[in-house]
Amino acid sequence: MKISYQMVITALAGLGLLGCSAKKEEKPEEVGNKEPLSIIFMIGDGMGVPQVSTAYYFGDSLPNFSRFEHIGLHKTSDKKYEITDSAAGATAFSIGQKTYKRAIGVSVDSISQETILERLKGEGYQTGLISLTTITHATPASFYAHVPDRDMHEEIAAQLIDAEVDFFAGGGKKFFNKRDDGKDLFAELLSKNYHLDTLGLSKPESNKRNAYVLADDGIPSKIEGRGDYLSEATKNALDYFDQREAPFFMMVEGSYIDWGGHAKNAEMMISEVLDFDKALGVVLDYVEATPNTLLVVTADHETGGVSIGKHYEMDESTGEKKEVPEKVSVYFNTDQHSGELIPVFANGQGAENFQGIYENNEIYHKMLRAINQAK
């Protein structure tokens, strides 16, 4: 439960302090402004402008993307390659430096760097991570782990135990309980005051940390029948953080937009974008209703070199291809990542910092700037 401006005024009035001349110089709105800024950072892995565009052509209603008031673009290149990967991409966001491909939470010379999640935890923030793939996968791992290569899943899982993230949800059971070193990391989580669920999204316990590890590998994709996991996990996390005093930093990943691009599977990619947009709706509602919150949404890179073009169907009478005016088709130019500038959407306090065109690692600095401005 957070202290609202109205509650402060009511309390001061109750104590008869509002008329007191000694207190006159303390403007009431300064009391409200001292609450630290909470940040929800959402990454649609592989989500460039073409992927966002599919929400406008294939969705049933106006996408939640239309609710954003501040929009910018970032350049995704890593330290060496113009075309990055998800490890260097997420690490640029988490440590504020461009690094090499496959790097997790380390600089270009493989030195561990404090991540934004670790830094804010040190300042008393609650922390959260939600992913669709294994919780040790490159994007979530870049916020709590420090390893030279993204495939070091067992080491990354061990570092997750030490990170003491307050709420996390994703897949990757095998890296906890079927490890080469024989350790049982689930037992270690339980010894660290975690409510652990390996079956489903049970209600988070407010007096504990909460861990949801729900699949041996990744959680199923939308077309494989995932259901509403992303929106529900996000809602549960927001409810959990909201019940407690401290501000929070949470990263939520829509992981499989990227996988749809690699597979050149338009149905998979579009369904993942629409599911991500649904989760955006949950967070946008929360941010609009909650002062001192900021939502930043972006991607690490685009995947598939996607374009949205003319849709043709065979004309029965002529036997020739004919353009269908009210439809579009998705075209893939590659099964790899691409180098397009990537959109950044922001709403809430400090959202104006994210306008303009800048490098990917600037997003880290812009988030910290928004926090400092709120102080």
| Contacts with Zn ion, residue ranges (CB under 5 A) | 258
- Cα separation, 160 vs 135, in Å, equals 9
H-helix or E-strand spanning residue 162: helix 153-163
Closer CB to Zn ion, residue 195 or residue 337? 337
Examine residue 272 and tell whether it contacts Mg ion (CB under 5 A).
no
Convert residues 128-157 into a mask of x (bound to Mg ion by CB under 5 A) and - (unbound).
-----------x------------------
Phi, psi at residue 73, to the nearest 5°?
A: -135, 145
Q: Quick one: what does residue 347 bind among Mg ion, Zn ion, none, with the CB cut-off 5 to 8 Å set by partner type?
A: none
Neighbouring-strand partners of residue 147: 104
Q: Classify 28 as helix, strand or coil.
A: helix
Closer CB to Mg ion, residue 105 or residue 348? 105
Rg (CA), the chain: 22
Closer CB to Zn ion, residue 59 or residue 339? 339
Q: Quick one: what does residue 277 bind among Zn ion, Mg ion, none, with the CB cut-off 5 to 8 Å set by partner type?
A: none
187 phi-psi bin (left φ>0, alpha ψ -120 to 50, beta other)? alpha
Class of residue 352 by CB neighbours under 10 A (exposed 0-12, middle 13-18, buried 19+): middle
- Strands 167-171, 194-197: parallel, antiparallel or unpaired by DSSP? unpaired
Convert residues 239-258 into a mask of x (bound to Mg ion by CB under 5 A) and - (unbound).
----------------x---
Closer CB to Zn ion, residue 258 or residue 362? 258
The residue from 86, 115, 271, 349 that contacts Mg ion (CB under 5 A) is 86
**Minimum distance, C-beta of residue 140 to Mg ion, in the bound complex (Å):** 8
Examine residue 45 and tell whether it contacts Mg ion (CB under 5 A).
yes
Q: How far is CA 302 from CA 262, 269, 336, 337, 360, in A?
A: 10, 12, 9, 6, 13
Give, as one character, the DSSP assignment of residue 112: B
Examine residue 303 and tell whether it contacts Mg ion (CB under 5 A).
no
**Minimum distance, C-beta of residue 272 to Zn ion, in the bound complex (Å):** 12
Q: Quick one: what does residue 139 bind among Mg ion, Zn ion, none, with the CB cut-off 5 to 8 Å set by partner type?
A: Mg ion
Query: Which residues are annotated as catalytic?
Result: 86
Closer CB to Mg ion, residue 255 or residue 271? 255
* 171 close to 259: Cβ distance less than 8 angstroms: no
- Cα separation, 103 vs 101, in Å, equals 6
**Minimum distance, C-beta of residue 94 to Mg ion, in the bound complex (Å):** 12
H-helix or E-strand spanning residue 254: strand 248-254
Size of the site for Mg ion (CB under 5 A): 4
Judged by CB under 5 A, the stretch of 42-50, 68-76, 203-211, 282-290 that binds Mg ion is 42-50
- Cα separation, 101 vs 211, in Å, equals 29
**Minimum distance, C-beta of residue 253 to Mg ion, in the bound complex (Å):** 6
**Minimum distance, C-beta of residue 46 to Mg ion, in the bound complex (Å):** 8
- Tell me which residues touch Mg ion (CB under 5 A): 45, 86, 139, 255
